[in-house]
Amino acid sequence: MRPIPILLAGPDGQVQHANPAATALLGAAPCITCDELVRAEDPQGGRVCKTGCPNGFAPDEQRDHGLVKIRGRGWRLICSAVSDSLVVTLLPAAAPVATPRLSAREKEVLQLVAGGLTGHRIARRLGITPATVRTHVEHIRDKLGVRSRSQAVARALALGQIE
């Protein structure tokens, strides 16, 4: 499975983080907004991304922009509001989107991760040990094919595994 490009933009639209796949695809530039970096176009050539886009999202809202053109290639663009940030996920248009099967407990843990809770707070809330939370997060990352907690949240949101 190829790495999925994922960006994290702040409430002002400034890119705060780009994973290596996003950096390879889009390049990396400090102090650039998400819309300037992504420059997604709809099938008619119109711009999909707008300046100040994160301000237009309701809390926990997700928008699937469908198939767009980025750097001359087809991508499925999914933007998800998480806390006060915007997670931008790019899925290859030609790749089938297989939905990994997360257990009910894994979904519950990931929903709490998405809410910004630490491993210790998740453990207290669920009545389990922090080591068990780490194990759940590790399994979640493996199943979703990502490396970090934020990437897991973005991928799960994009796949409709969590809200």
| Domain presence at residue 143 | yes
User: Do residues 136 and 61 share a domain?
Assistant: no
Question: What pLDDT, in 10s, does the model give residues 96-147?
Answer: 445 678 999 999 999 999 999 999 999 999 999 999 999 999 999 888 878 8
Long-range contact pairs involving 22-30 (C-beta distance under 8 Å, separation at least 24): 22/90, 25/70, 25/71, 25/90, 26/70, 26/71
Strands (E), 20-160: 62-70, 73-82, 85-92
Question: What pLDDT, in 10s, does the model give residues 45-72?
Answer: 788 887 767 667 777 788 888 888 888 8
User: Do residues 64 and 32 share a domain?
Assistant: yes
User: Do residues 88 and 112 share a domain?
Assistant: no
User: Do residues 71 and 145 share a domain?
Assistant: no
Q: What is the pLDDT of residue 118?
A: 95
Q: Which domain holds residue 136?
A: 104-159
User: Do residues 73 and 147 share a domain?
Assistant: no
| Domain presence at residue 152 | yes
Q: How many domains does the chain have?
A: 2
Residue 31 has pLDDT above 80, yes or no: no
User: Do residues 148 and 84 share a domain?
Assistant: no
| Domain presence at residue 150 | yes
| Domain presence at residue 99 | no
User: Do residues 70 and 26 share a domain?
Assistant: yes
| Domain presence at residue 72 | yes
| Domain presence at residue 54 | yes
pTM attached to this predicted model: 0.58
Q: Which residues does 127 contact at the CB level (< 8 Å), separation at least 6?
A: none
Lowest mean pLDDT among 1-15, 82-96, 104-118: 82-96
| Domain presence at residue 97 | no
User: Do residues 61 and 111 share a domain?
Assistant: no
CB distance 56 to 66 below 8 Å: no
User: Do residues 113 and 135 share a domain?
Assistant: yes
| CATH label of the domain that carries residue 109 | 1.10.10.10
User: Do residues 12 and 70 share a domain?
Assistant: yes
